Amino acid sequence: MIQNDAFDAVVDVRTVSEWEDTGIIENVTLIESMQSLSSTPMDLMGCEYCSIAVYCRSGSRAQSALEKMQNESL
């Protein structure tokens, strides 16, 4: 469960169709397929010291996105 104000940013790496099927959490940033992007999305620039929660449907894409962010010092 994600508590209000527990994180500086909450990132959803699901697809738009998953958002449409299951809904969204309020104040979440959708960065579709973030784990496949070649660079850090503009939405996360300047978040080197932010606490960030990342999630997807099963956890696999979130784990890949998290590893990508760690490799890019986020």
Identify the band that residue 50 occupies on the pLDDT scale cut at 50, 70 and 90: confident
Q: Which residue has the higher pLDDT, 1 or 34?
A: 34
Question: Measured between alpha carbons, how far is 8 from 37 in angstroms, rounded to an integer?
Answer: 22
Rounded mean pLDDT, 9-29: 87
Task: Provide φ and ψ at 57, rounded to 5°.
Answer: -70, -50
Question: Measured between alpha carbons, how far is 43 from 59 in angstroms, rounded to an integer?
Answer: 21
> In 3D, which of 51, 7, 11 has the Cα closest to residue 34?
11
Identify the band that residue 38 occupies on the pLDDT scale cut at 50, 70 and 90: confident
- How does the average pLDDT of the chain come out, rounded? 83
Question: Measured between alpha carbons, how far is 71 from 35 in angstroms, rounded to an integer?
Answer: 12
Please indicate, yes or no, whether the overall pTM of this predicted structure exceeds 0.85.
Answer: no
